[in-house]
Amino acid sequence: MVERQSPLEPVLQVGSHGNFEHGVDIILSETQPGSILQLAAWPGEEKKLISVIRTVTGLALPDGAGGGSTDGARSVFGFAPGKFTVVDEAEGLVSAFAGAVTPAIGTVTDLSHGRTAIRIAGPKAEWVLAKFFAIDFALPAFPVGAGRSTVHHDVFAQIQRTGADQFDVYVFRSFARSFWKALCHASEEVGYEVQ
Amino acid sequence: MSPRRSDTGGRIDRLRTIRFTFDGASYTGHAGDTLASALLANGVSLFGRSFKYHRPRGVLTAGVEEPNALVTVLRGEVREPNIAATMIEIYDGLTAVSQNRFPSLSWDVGAVNQLGGKVLSAGFYYKTFMGPVFGPLKGTRFWMFCEHFIRRAAGLGRAGTAPDTARYERMNAFCDVLVVGSGPAGLIAAKAATDQGARVILAELEPHFGGSANWSGEVIDDMPAADWAARTAGQLEGHDNVRLLPRTTVWGYYDGNTLAALERVTDHKENPGKGEPRHRYWAIRAKTVVLATGSFERPLVFPGNDRPGVMLAHAAERYANEYGVLPGDRIALFTNNDSAYRAALALKKAGAAIVAIVDVRPELSNEMRKLAGEAEAEILAGHAVVATEGGKALSGLKVQRFDMASGALSGDARSIHADCLLMSGGWSPTIHLASQAGARAEWNEALQAFLPPKPTQKWIGAGAFNGHFKTLEAILDGRNAGLSAVGATGTPMAYPSIESLPGDPRPAPVFEIKAKGKSFVDFQHDVTAEDVRLAHREGFISVEHLKRYTTLGMATDQGKNSNIPGLAIMAEALGKPIPEVGTTRFRPPYSAVSIGSLAAERFDDIKPERLTPMHDWHVANGATMYAAGLWYRPMIYGLSGETIEQAYVREAKATRESAGIVDVSTLGKIAVQGPDAAEFLDRVYTNMFSTLAVGKARYGLMLREDGLAFDDGTTWRLGEQDFLMTTTTANAGKVMQHLEYFLDVIWPELKVHVTSVTDEWAGAAIGGPKARAILAACLTGTAVDNATLPFMGIVRGKIAGVPVMICRLSFSGEMAFEVYCGAGYGTHVWEALVEAGKPFGLVTYGLEALGTMRIEKGHVTGAEIDGRTTARDLHLDWMLSKKKPFIGSAMMDREGLIAPDRLELVGLIALDNRPLNGGAHVVEVLDEANPHDSIGHITACCYSPALGKHIALALIKGGKARHGSRAFVSDPLRNRFGPIEIVSNHFYDSDGSRMHG
Amino acid sequence: MLITCPYCGPRDVLEFTYQGDGNRERPQPASQNLDAWNAYVYDRLNPAGDHNEIWQHSGGCRSHLRVVRNTLTHEISSTTFARGDHKSAARHKAGGKS
């Protein structure tokens, strides 16, 4: 099996960086999930799609825009009306959905290569992300599991909160290196560790 | 201890000595000092020279409104001019220099301008720069010649030329309540809202919270006001739901309760922390804003009011109470209101002699007489200051009897010996942000001030901002504001106990004393009362015009001191009451903002780089990268010693002789999926897609609604309901938006989803006579012969273990294939193809060779689809289906779009065998001296290795009809003229035999 | 300026792209009425007051929105999905002649 190449490879430098002498407040990593899918329902078919997602992944989606959940290995969240991002550590999730999402329900689009998943964790995760995105990262406004679509200049991002102090940011692969470098730069003042 | 520093008092840390320099001289101060307080403590009174007249100036204020004491701060090679000394916190090694003086601050040759006061009056620039009426430097040319010298003489500090290496960052914040200002009103507002559990941000432009509590000398709840403020701020600090932002100026109030603030993070630090930004730009979205921005004390306008040693009364009070600094030993005061009496007493207590209190009001309250008595000051009621004396420091003043009603002076002038004169012209609420938010201020006759308007956005005012100048009122106001900001109604609270001196906040309506000599209204721009009257005499009756003509209020202090006095003088000249003259609307920024903070992200992300999956391979293998939009693409893979032209000619030639491979991952790719996908494509493309078989691709053209060409590309039918659309690299985003618009707004009934999959696929185009053999050598799982993979056919297979999808299509005129695989495998597949191609002489080629081959083939791109051309102009009318309507079909046949003299696509060959230039015009008659009658222009050009000639694509009037005729290129800018032949745009493989194989 | 996306909530205007006057009526696809096409392609209302506009949340969920914005105050009084409730679907069915 050929290994997938990460766009971050030459710039991902494991270790502590920036102002870390008094400890690091940010941990950055690339999660490299095997599968990243976009599922989209036709208007009126959202409930059916949500139930397919539950059947295939075991993850229940809470009601409402941007609702999502994660069990560590698999994650799902809404990012647009009737549209969901489903992520799995393992490859091959697309085939599990291909049959289950019938043409009457909606479509499946495989983005496993096209998106890069960057995890930012630590007590200053909200602080650093707020430098880039004009959305409210406070826990009450952005609960664990929920997803958001937003943009920093030309870099589109889907962001899922996967912990009180942890966010998974999905960016276009071609922008990933540029965004990673910016993220490192912005994390310097609080000290960061790359894992 | 410094000569003017008291032994006790203030919040400076006398145990910590800080060393700094000003104009090269070393001084010491203490932690907590500003540059202004430290210099005053050292007995320095001369801080700078004025803008126009180069008059010596001292320090007028103690805060952000300072117009005079502007200095340049040097940090290494970087110089930052025009910083108020009152806002600079000193640190070890601070290096500051004065401005607008030559050769030195105390001996300045520019001061000669004072003698020419008449010439430099209001409207100087407009009246003067009209130039001689004859001669070689006629008209404004003469003044353009003089500009350099004039600019050197006028103006403030000199900007640096060294690059600013500091870091600036942007920060987004959200809150329920933003409190602007941390005086007693703001502090209590923040506390009330915080106690209700709201998310609160408290912004204070000074380093310490507390505002006037830090120097009022009052007692709140049985403790000094300064301690009370520190305790309250400390209580706030302990809460998770509040963010305290000291050194943060909220400078802009925008729509949707979005506010802009500047946090000065490291300006006060000798050594900033690693990665710490110098300034942070805060974009704050607040549900409600509490404006507790306080008020400004106004200067009085009288002759010599700008002499060093003349200062605002509260500023001196502040220097004494907050910094333990006395601005003078013998202090006189000049006032139209009660607040100066408190200042007098504070300075007396700090050790100064108060020689006189000159009050324009004939009658004074017993309370004020009592305060003056305590200060041991002589009261001169019904008097006014008519002159000041001294050179670079004040030595005395002259007073005369003054009649408030008529403004008349009478009696003999009396001299008073003093080294400091404090003035108070009443107080103006700081309503800038409210005004920015869109409402008109209202004049309050009793307070002689503009009060905040009715809110037009979600804000609540508190304290002196509301004209509530007493601390008790401010605290009650603040609590109400904090509670109502979160929609709470608090229980009545016990009134805080406040010990303060008495005083009536209503000033006498006196702004100016008319006597002989220059009376300054705008200190920073050297605008005098006489300038304002002159402007009026010359016909400027609107405040807005007055402002521009005299430049009143247009300096870095933005009229914080001069606004109301200027308006009052104008009103008097017009014979109208102040409210009828009106005030100007304040605009952002409230105070000076660093450009760096506005640019904010100084690292690459403001223009992120987009990299293809094979980017690192290209760089490692000698590619010269070229920025195409945000993408980086190989331009050439140059061999050592090769020029760009030699490299692309070699690459193109080798491709046509054997084979070449190019990275096409940047092409826009859009998944078009759903039961109505084919129908949708029929509507957006000019040609049919519903008839396309699964496993086939088709070249498509899109028009805009107005019938002009929009974009082209191939679309592949991967399944019955599953298409992969490709777009040009440049238009990928626009096409996506175009499709989304039609699906959302025009045809919501269509069941189609469009998704950008540009980044999902790595793409490599391999073309040339050996391309098929190379593929066959490394591809498994499928054949690539004509039967299995005909032109525009699609097959799937594996290369080096990776699944690939291959479509046979060509833009170069060679037999070519686009090989797509998952982006993560891009380099792996690319390397396998390059390796397989070695025995066949495969070359990698870049954008230059790609462009060359497409020009030879006569294929159009963005240079020809330029938003002005139609399908017919580009000879793509064969793609316009007559069987169905499509976007643009109704508008494309309009008269002007089918006219015979439109510019049409042709090919050009240079007959003089010299290079052609893009953008050059084509003419029928060559007239180098006076080029005229262009019949079109060149869109793209190259040296063609296939033809051995310099060729171009061009848009020419009449187009095809001119094939075979001669014309000329006319390019006067680049001095390129010469004969050309107009030919078909299909220079190469015009019958398609090579491409179709 | 903030626009409240019905899906994403209030977002900064920087995340949105203005997509034109929302009062335009696209003629039936096969219509040959040039005046109607001209009006659709070129005519724009420019009221001083409430204006019906199309915005795309291009930096978010990418939905197109109908926004009623006051051009004097920038106040936004309503924001809905441009797709609406699909009631208009029949009217737009492809290829209809008018």
pLDDT score recorded for residue B558:
85
Instruction: Provide the pLDDT confidence category of residue C98 given band limits of 50, 70 and 90.
Output: very low
For residues B746 and B765, membership in a common domain is answered with: no
Place of tokens 């001299």: B415
For residues B93 and B44, membership in a common domain is answered with: yes
DSSP three-state, residue A52: helix
How far is it, in rounded angstroms, from Cα B792 to Cα B810? Answer: 9
Nearest to C83 among B256, B456, B744 (CB): B744
Averaged pLDDT, A2-15: 96
CB contact under 8 A, C32 and B890: yes
Q: Which of C74, C50, C52, C54 is nearest to C64 (CA)?
A: C54
**Which CATH number belongs to the domain containing residue B919 in this structure?**
2.40.30.110
For residues B63 and B182, membership in a common domain is answered with: no
Question: Would you say B481 and B185 are in contact if contact means Cβ atoms under 8 Å apart?
Answer: yes
A15 at interface of C, judged by CB pairs closer than 8 A: no
SS (H, E, C) B807-850: EECCCCCCCEEEEEEEHHHHHHHHHHHHHHHHHHCEEECCHHHH
For residues B180 and B274, membership in a common domain is answered with: yes
With respect to residue B403, please indicate whether it lies within any of the assigned structural domains: no
Q: Which of A37, A64, A69 is nearest to A54 (CA)?
A: A69
C12 at interface of B, judged by CB pairs closer than 8 A: yes
Q: How many helices (H) and strands (E) does chain A have?
A: 4, 12
pLDDT score recorded for residue B971:
96
**Which CATH number belongs to the domain containing residue B541 in this structure?**
1.10.10.1100
Beta strands B442-444; B94-97: pairing state: unpaired
With respect to residue B730, please indicate whether it lies within any of the assigned structural domains: yes
A153 at interface of C, judged by CB pairs closer than 8 A: no
With respect to residue B522, please indicate whether it lies within any of the assigned structural domains: yes
Q: Which chain B residue lies closest to C82 (C-alpha atoms)?
A: B745
SS (H, E, C) B305-325: CCCCCEEEHHHHHHHHHHHCE
For residues B743 and B815, membership in a common domain is answered with: no
The domain boundary residue, chosen from B703, B723, B756: B756
Cα separation values, A141 from A135, B176, B731, Å: 9, 12, 36
Q: Which chain C residue lies closest to A79 (C-alpha atoms)?
A: C61
CB contact under 8 A, B800 and A5: no
For residues B69 and B173, membership in a common domain is answered with: no
List the structure tokens of B415: 């001299």
Question: Would you say B187 and B478 are in contact if contact means Cβ atoms under 8 Å apart?
Answer: yes
For residues B991 and B926, membership in a common domain is answered with: yes
A166 at interface of C, judged by CB pairs closer than 8 A: no
C54 at interface of B, judged by CB pairs closer than 8 A: yes
How far is it, in rounded angstroms, from Cα B972 to Cα B115? Answer: 53
Nearest to B610 among A113, A174, A182 (CB): A174
With respect to residue B851, please indicate whether it lies within any of the assigned structural domains: yes
Domains and CATH numbers, chain A: 15-32+115-194 (3.30.1360.120), 35-110 (3.30.70.1520)
DSSP three-state, residue B214: helix
CB contact under 8 A, A152 and B605: yes
Q: How many CB pairs under 8 A join B and C?
A: 81
pLDDT score recorded for residue B115:
62
CB contact under 8 A, C90 and B749: yes
CB contact under 8 A, B171 and A174: no
pTM more than 0.90: yes
**Which CATH number belongs to the domain containing residue B44 in this structure?**
3.10.20.440
With respect to residue B83, please indicate whether it lies within any of the assigned structural domains: yes
Cα separation values, B380 from B335, B364, B875, Å: 10, 10, 94
Beta strands B279-291; B258-264: pairing state: antiparallel
C97 at interface of B, judged by CB pairs closer than 8 A: no
Question: Would you say C75 and C10 are in contact if contact means Cβ atoms under 8 Å apart?
Answer: no
Cite the DSSP H helix spans in B671-746. Answer: 677-684, 732-741
pLDDT score recorded for residue B112:
64
Q: What backbone torsions phi and psi does residue B881 show, to the nearest 5 degrees?
A: -70, 140
CA dihedral A166, A169, A175, A179 (to 10 degrees): -20
Q: Which CATH class is domain C2-25+34-84?
A: alpha beta
Instruction: Provide the pLDDT confidence category of residue C95 given band limits of 50, 70 and 90.
Output: very low
How far is it, in rounded angstroms, from Cα B470 to Cα B539? Answer: 41
CA dihedral A11, A14, A20, A25 (to 10 degrees): 90
For residues B212 and B269, membership in a common domain is answered with: yes
**What is the domain extent for residue B696?**
668-756
The model's pLDDT over C65-79, given as tens digits with 9 standing for 90+, comes to 999 999 998 899 999
Place of tokens 């809202």: B193
Q: What backbone torsions phi and psi does residue B491 show, to the nearest 5 degrees?
A: -70, 150
Residue ranges of chain B with per-residue pLDDT less than 50 = 1
Question: Would you say B937 and B848 are in contact if contact means Cβ atoms under 8 Å apart?
Answer: no
A45 at interface of B, judged by CB pairs closer than 8 A: no
Chain C residues bordering chain A (beta-carbon distance below 8 Å): 7-9, 11-12, 14-15, 58-63, 81, 83, 86
Count of domains observed in chain B: 7
The vertex-A141 CA angle with A135 and A144, nearest 5°, equals 105
For residues B791 and B647, membership in a common domain is answered with: yes
With respect to residue B357, please indicate whether it lies within any of the assigned structural domains: no
For residues B674 and B808, membership in a common domain is answered with: no
C44 at interface of B, judged by CB pairs closer than 8 A: no
With respect to residue B419, please indicate whether it lies within any of the assigned structural domains: no
Question: Would you say A188 and A17 are in contact if contact means Cβ atoms under 8 Å apart?
Answer: yes
How far is it, in rounded angstroms, from Cα B665 to Cα B820? Answer: 8
The domain boundary residue, chosen from B486, B505, B535: B486
How far is it, in rounded angstroms, from Cα A164 to Cα A167? Answer: 8
The model's pLDDT over A125-175, given as tens digits with 9 standing for 90+, comes to 999 999 999 999 999 999 999 999 999 988 999 999 999 999 999 999 999
What's the order of all strands across the beta sheet hosting B330-335?
Answer: B310-312, B420-424, B330-335, B353-359, B378-381
How far is it, in rounded angstroms, from Cα A4 to Cα B760? Answer: 12
Nearest chain B Cα distance for residue A6, angstroms: 7
Nearest chain C Cα distance for residue B885, angstroms: 5
Q: Where are the domains of chain C?
A: 2-25+34-84
DSSP category for residue B742? I
Residues 6+ apart with CB under 8 A from A195: A14, A27, A28, A29
B103 Rama sector, left if φ>0, alpha if ψ -120 to 50, beta otherwise:
alpha
Question: Would you say B49 and B109 are in contact if contact means Cβ atoms under 8 Å apart?
Answer: no
DSSP three-state, residue B661: strand
Determine how many CB atoms are found less than 10 A away from the CB of residue B3: 9
The vertex-C2 CA angle with C1 and C4, nearest 5°, equals 155
Residues 6+ apart with CB under 8 A from B735: B668, B670, B702, B710, B711, B725, B727
Nearest chain C Cα distance for residue B291, angstroms: 20
DSSP three-state, residue A187: helix
The model's pLDDT over C2-50, given as tens digits with 9 standing for 90+, comes to 999 999 999 999 999 999 999 999 999 999 999 999 999 999 999 999 9
For residues B175 and B242, membership in a common domain is answered with: yes
Question: Would you say A20 and A193 are in contact if contact means Cβ atoms under 8 Å apart?
Answer: yes
For residues B924 and B986, membership in a common domain is answered with: yes
Cα separation values, A49 from A55, A110, A149, B675, C37, Å: 10, 16, 20, 17, 39
CB contact under 8 A, B737 and C84: no
Question: Would you say B715 and B685 are in contact if contact means Cβ atoms under 8 Å apart?
Answer: yes
pLDDT score recorded for residue B298:
97
Burial of B651 (0-12, 13-18, 19+ CB in 10 A): buried
The amino acid sitting at B160 is: G
With respect to residue B503, please indicate whether it lies within any of the assigned structural domains: no
CB contact under 8 A, A188 and B275: yes
Helix axes B677-684 and B732-741, enclosed angle (nearest 10): 110
What H or E segment, with its residue span, contains residue B794?
strand B794-799
Nearest chain C Cα distance for residue B886, angstroms: 7
Nearest chain A Cα distance for residue B298, angstroms: 39
The amino acid sitting at B96 is: A
Q: Is the ipTM reported for this complex over the cut 0.95?
A: yes
